[in-house]
Amino acid sequence: MPNNPGLGEQALNKAAEIGITSQLDEVENLDVNVKTDPLKLMQGELDSVKIDGEGLVMQKSLRVEELHMQVDNVAINPLSVAFGKVELTRPTQGSAKIVLTETDINCAFNSDYIRSKLQSQTINLSGQPVAVSLKQVDFHLPGQNRVELKADVQLDNNENHLVEFSAVPTVSANGKTINLENVEYPQGEESSSITQSLIDATSEILNLDNFDLQGMTLTIKGLYPEVGQFIIAAEAYVEQIPSA
């Protein structure tokens, strides 16, 4: 039997693709695949909605190499399709997978947003508040469940510091942010307020709120740092499919 989508499925696919694309700064490739049949569609029932994206630029200049999401047993208002929308009549849950590359994370670290976040911070140095200016960050994914970070930092007293450390990424209690624990430093170095600022910046970049789309909320279920890429497995709670 042919596996081509019917007209109803095609209309849903297109409406969802337009809605999701409207929430993103850039999209290299986005494919939405709705599974249902004409009778179920008339009753507002979808077997599944699968979203596959590549090269998606989210808020705060964070690029996602891959985004995969699937929800099953979806209930919609069938009349909404005529208006170019996929309107859910009840929330549904599913799974999601996000793939970030080392390059993407480095670009985020060196973006204006993160630089401004760090420059708005002050650290305590010898009892005095000192502003931090980030010059360059090198974020590395060596595998073995660790991340490495090296940064050139300038303080407003014109002192330059090279900060290096590696750490194990872990999931926060609320499942929204990624913390860095078991921090290790090169021989002779120790923890500092500057290091903590960079750890906080890492959590800011990898906060799952950055990947939420309109009507969709993600909660981290697993972290898989590999050589050159960072994979996040998540649970998706979907109240609405984004609309343009």
Torsion over CA: 108, 113, 114, 116 (sign) = positive
- For residues 228 and 101, give the distance between their C-alpha atoms in angstroms, rounded to a whole number: 6
Q: Measured between alpha carbons, how far is 141 from 65 in angstroms, rounded to an integer?
A: 15
Q: How many CA atoms lie within 13 A of 14 on its CB side?
A: 12
* pLDDT of amino acid 91: 96
97-152 pLDDT tens trace? 999 999 999 988 888 877 777 666 676 666 777 777 778 889 999 999 999 999 88
Q: CA angle, corner 97, sides to 95 and 102, nearest 5?
A: 165
Distance CA 244, CA 233 (A): 27
The predicted-structure confidence for 71-112, as pLDDT tens digits, reads as follows 999 999 989 888 878 899 999 999 999 999 999 999 888 888
Q: What is the pLDDT of residues 1-31, one digit of tens each?
A: 446 667 778 889 999 999 999 989 899 999 9
Q: Shortest CA distance to 72 belongs to which of 43, 92, 51, 97? A: 92
Per-residue pLDDT averaged across 50-73, rounded?
Answer: 91
139 three-class SS? strand
